[in-house]
Structure 1
Amino acid sequence: MFSLDFMRNAYLASTIIAIVCGFIGVFVVSRNMPFLTHTLSEIGFAGAAFGMFIGLSPLDGMLIFTIISSILVGKMGAKSSRREDSISAVSGLFIGLGVLFLALSNKSASYATNILFGSIVGISFNDVKQMIVLSIIVLVVLLVIYRNLKFDSFDPIGAKAQHVNASLISIVFLVLLALSVSVAAQVVGSLLIFILLTLPAASAKYFAKSVSKMIMYAIGFGLIGVWLGLYLGYITNWPVSFFIATIECLIYFIALGFNYIKERK
């Protein structure tokens, strides 16, 4: 299996993605942003289609659309009563734009499938290098803002009392989330990216008692999903995204069962 270049690239890329998603996913869950993550993935689909339409790579198109959108959402403010409705409207608009850009670019249906559901075999080493650079940027910035981000995510009242700039933290975090969505979509596709950004972290909270341990568990669950998913996809020739989604869902249900047993004791 590892004698094949595309499998080595796929394992390297998926490992990077699992680490980034596990780290940032803990804060996605704590800040109650799964819906926004799903919306960014749909915006990423439109961006990827737009990138192909104007001659850019799908990843570059995703980065442009998701970063701009995340900044706009951050400017709307976390407490805006109309933000969820606005996000729903924007989500529908960008799905329509994605379909339009694909039609105008005269690409085959396989391009749309790759964007929506990922394409492991299509990941080149240059793609991996780009993912590594973007992932390092995300992780470094996360470490720089970690203390304030943790404070604002898990104790917003205390963060406000300590004069933490919640608005700035929110915008920076959303930009990092946009980068993560664009990077991870290369493996699981834009439609399923919210799985890696939410389920490992949602499972981790039932096992960990601190933020750092939640991050470790989330990264571990993400790695189990992508590594095992790649292996099963290789031996069965079934879609890797299916296996990743199924494995992460199973881990989540196991976590729920563990929590149920713990509460009954």
Structure 2
Amino acid sequence: MFLIIDVGNTRVKVAVYENDVVIDRMVFLKVKIIEELEKIILKYPILKSIVSSVASFSEKEEEKIIELINPIILNHKTKVPFENMYDTPKTLGVDRIALAAAAVKKYPDTNTLVIDAGTCITFDFITKDKKYLGGAISPGIAMRYRALNTFTSKLPLLKQTHISDFIGRNTDTSIHSGVINGVYNEIIGLINQYKAGYQDLTIVLTGGDTKFLAEQLKSVIFAHPNFVLEGLHTILIYNLEDD
């Protein structure tokens, strides 16, 4: 069995694979990672594991994680099933590396644009000949709401909601229109830019806001909420086969 771990700033997403099948999936707070890993290795006979982390650990935590599961720790030097053409590979986020790996495994022989809608909205483009070219990074939905509240003196902090009219009739609906309608049009606009330059384009939507956005974008995308975990599994298998 394989243990796949995606560490965020506050939460950890985990999947346990048996061959290519997910047999368990869990989410817990980052501060509980050691005790949760201890439970997992008691429950499952883990053969190998991989960790992707956008957050940092204390030296003691790192040592304990290595002691417990001796994982592959994903970074820009890890062997991946695509050619990384990014100008600054050291700065490419490990989550984006995992998304690119998932794209080449799930949608081979096609150009793929992966849209990860979370804290930030990232766009990652992988060509049909397995070359990662780059993409874009912009503020996520919650970040846009917070920015309007933080950098003004009177605009309220609102929570995301679906809109039925793009014309805001009061301050709250104007904010919702600006944020939600802006995000929708940004995504569609970027998709159209890629379609203009690359035929045979597959669009993938993932991240925390997948369900919210997919309801409006379902005609043009494939929704995969756990695409990072799938990509990490792909990278792990790729490295094991290469040994």
TM-score by length of 1: 0.28
Larger Rg, first or second structure (1 or 2): 2
